[in-house]
Amino acid sequence: MRGRVVVGAGYPRVIGEQYYPGLGVYGAPYVVGGAYVVGADPAAGAPPGAMLAVHPAPHPAAHSAPWRPMMAPGVPPVGEGHVPLPLLPETFNGTWTATGGTGAPPGTIITFSARPQKPFKLTRILARTTPVSNTNGTAIGTPIAQIFVGTDLQQGELGFIDLATLGAGGSFDTWVSCKQAEPGVLIRFQVGLTAYPSDTTTHTDQVLVTLTALGHYLH
């Protein structure tokens, strides 16, 4: 038998032996003749398989798909996505018409807004202009805007930027890096047109603008 066995309160211990992790004691514990002996050499008399582990082996680990990591069963870690965020018009359903029509009259600024429920950092703008009716050929304007996150202007200077160019679907290198919007903070676009419908006969020429933001989203 190797080492010196110390018997007292608690488990017997071997002084000067190596600690074996997972067994809870020093030395390799074996049961010899019904007694709990620490540090005994298996070849010195302990039958095969007689080792007594203080801590049993853990259950097999549960594995999840690579896209679904878990901190604990049913508890995913904080992740980051790249998701679209619709910006909804607060008035006139995002449409403009000539004076007397059903949409916003010429010169009107319509606010498009979104209130993300989790931290969101805007990185890309998608803008689309749809001539709903262009019977008289005056529904030709494209959107321009000022961008705000909360009360902070997200531009280098005051003024309206060209959303039709910046937000075109096939445009290249038009990403932006706006301030992160905390949950509940409004992202707002104050939108006008480069040219407003001026049909003064039937008042039916109408332009519709839709806006979508792409950005990083914590979930």
User: How high is the mean pLDDT of the chain?
Assistant: 80
Question: Where are the domains positioned within the chain?
Answer: 4-44, 80-218
pLDDT tens for 95-118 read 999 988 899 999 999 999 999 999
Apex CA 111: angle with CA 152 and CA 132, to 5°?
145
Q: What is the pLDDT of residue 63?
A: 63
Q: How far is C-alpha 174 from the chain's CA centre?
A: 21
pLDDT tens for 43-89 read 454 455 555 555 666 655 556 677 777 777 777 788 888 999 999 99
C-alpha distances out from residue 2 to 10, 15, 36, 65, 90, Å: 20, 10, 14, 47, 83
Q: What is the pLDDT of residue 18?
A: 47
Segment 166-178 mean pLDDT? 88
Segment 131-139 mean pLDDT? 94
Pair of tokens at residue 194: 């480069």
Apex CA 38: angle with CA 33 and CA 42, to 5°?
65
pLDDT tens for 21-34 read 444 444 444 444 54
CB 212 within 8 A of CB 89: no
Write the CATH number of the domain with boundaries 80-218: 2.60.120
For the stretch 150-181, what's the b/e string if a residue is b when 16 or more beta carbons lie within 10 angstroms of its beta carbon? eeeebeeeeebbebbebbbeeeeeeebebeeb
Which one, of 2, 9, 84, 73, lies nearest residue 37 by Cα? 2
Q: What is the pLDDT of residue 207?
A: 97
Q: What is the pLDDT of residue 51?
A: 53
Say what the alpha-carbon torsion angle 50, 54, 55, 56 is, to the nearest 10 degrees: 30
Q: Model-level pTM greater than 0.85? A: no
- Rounded CA-CA distance 101/138 in Å is 13
Which one, of 76, 77, 87, 7, lies nearest residue 39 by Cα? 7
Q: What is the pLDDT of residue 123?
A: 95
